[in-house]
Structure 1
Amino acid sequence: MLTLVPHWVNVVILAKFHNPTILNPDFLERNAIVPKGWKTTEVLATPPFATIRYEKNIVILLDQERFEIKKECKSFQDNYEIHGIASKYVTILPHVPYNTIGLNWNLSVKMNEPERFLSERFIKSEALQESELDFLQSYIRLSFNVDNAIFNIDFAPGRARVTGEDYHPAIIINVNFHYKGPFSIDQIILKINQWKAREDFFKNIIPKMLGIQN
């Protein structure tokens, strides 16, 4: 049985002329981008780069080309919150020329010998045998066109942990849904709001890719 474990989820919005100097807790709270009373654990503000980290395991980063909001999570039942915050941010700043959107997840699957599993699943063994090289591990990157987005998925061997357990061998999976603009504000919000459908899509497709059906 395959159990997908999420570790973090984020939204990335690229643009020309983001303004990092505006990013501070007061600005976000005053414009109802984040709820009142959220406590920060780190605030860094410089002309080229700004970071705000909240107790809720949410971090917002902004430079002149990239807005990112990220949340560390433990399960798919977590209330991510970040997608609504990203939508409110672009609504407050509609004049910025946004040009690219990324919906991203970092996941893992517990797996003994993940290096061997990935090579046997995705790479022709004949080619490896003919090379006569001592194979160590493989990194798999796949891309697909899916419903007006580019679906990118990476599989790599590594180590991961879930709450209450030590680190264990695992397949590390990075999922990205890439949208190329330019966009209107309504288009951005529409694409961000697709996050749940995108999540359901990869939760269904990854077991098939790995050949492990639940």
Structure 2
Amino acid sequence: MNQRLVIEDLVIIIAAKNHSSLILNPDFLKCSGIIPKDWKLARQPISNNSFARLDFSNGIAISAESNRVVFIEPIADKKIESLQIAEIARKYTQALPNMEFEAVGINFRGYVPFVGSHDAARTYINKTLLSPGAWQEEGEASVQASLNLVYKLNRTSFNLSVNEGTWLQDDETKTPIVMFTGSFSYEVSGETEAQKLSSLHQSLENWQTDLQTYSDIISNKFMAKMQFDTVRIPDTVAISDIFPMSVTP
């Protein structure tokens, strides 16, 4: 069986001080050239003094709170070079040069399906990623475990969460999966507003390198120990959102 990493979506989070959620509206985005004028909303926007969210018919979503702006794009069957939200995030921050942006998070969510056994994902985590011991033998069923890892890379830190889950397909078929949620964190630096904006934009430019790092660590470090074929990173992949994942625990 050929195991396959399915990367669902790219999520960019930009932390900011005193960001008004009321800024986020279709007119502002279109008039500022942040998004094309022909983009259509998929549903009515949410907007109040503490939160705003716009969902577009192409699957892209943007939300805003007082301390951050979140840009979400499903990868679906898109080619990597066609993803748009890093550029949208850059234009958004360019349109608000006096905003106090503090940090950038570049996040990816993906999973590997384990077909053949209802507990295959749990077995992979417990037997392959964890050392055996009496602590795993307590209780009437195999223990459910998750891992939170922090990698110190030369350009930034990379946080990776590994969890067991279930993928509920359209036909109600349940497939066990191991979820991999990765986050690359960048601080905005500089003395002047122009320097800080430049630092922020440089961080956004790392998204493709971060995606490759995320994919390489999972395929070449995690899945290489499996007694299946090496995980394959597809050119086009499936979708969802970082706050919750579209799987059932």
Distance in 2 (alpha carbons) for counterparts of 1:22 and 1:210:
42
RMSD: 2.1
Distance in 1 (alpha carbons) for counterparts of 2:207 and 2:125:
27
Q: Which is richer in strand?
A: 1
Distance in 1 (alpha carbons) for counterparts of 2:11 and 2:108:
6
Q: How does 1:26-175 map to 2 (within 5 A)?
A: 26-41=27-42, 42-75=44-77, 77=79, 79-112=82-115, 113-128=120-135, 132-134=137-139, 135-160=142-167, 166-175=173-182
CA contact (8 A) 2:189 2:199 kept: no
Q: CA deviation at 1:97?
A: 1.1
Q: 1:162 to 1:75 in 2, by over 3 A?
A: farther
Match of 1:189 among 193, 201, 214: 201
Aligned residue pair count: 212
Higher RCO, 1 vs 2 (CA within 8 Å, ≥6 residues apart): 2
Residue identity in the other structure for 1:117: Y
CA contact (8 A) 1:6 1:75 kept: no
List alignment gaps of at least 5 residues for structure 1.
Answer: none
CA contact (8 A) 2:188 2:200 kept: no
1:32-89 CA deviation, whole Å, 9 max, x = no partner? 0001110012311112211111001111000110100102232462532111100000
Residue identity in the other structure for 1:194: N
* Alignment match, 2:6: 5
CA contact (8 A) 2:21 2:66 kept: yes
Distance in 2 (alpha carbons) for counterparts of 1:211 and 1:23:
41
TM-score when scaled to structure 2? 0.79
Q: CA deviation at 1:186?
A: 1.0
More deviation, 2-11/28-37? 2-11
List alignment gaps of at least 5 residues for structure 2.
Answer: 191-195, 225-229, 232-249
Distance in 1 (alpha carbons) for counterparts of 2:69 and 2:203:
16
Distance in 1 (alpha carbons) for counterparts of 2:150 and 2:19:
28
TM-score when scaled to structure 1? 0.91
Distance in 1 (alpha carbons) for counterparts of 2:78 and 2:160:
18
Residue identity (%): 23
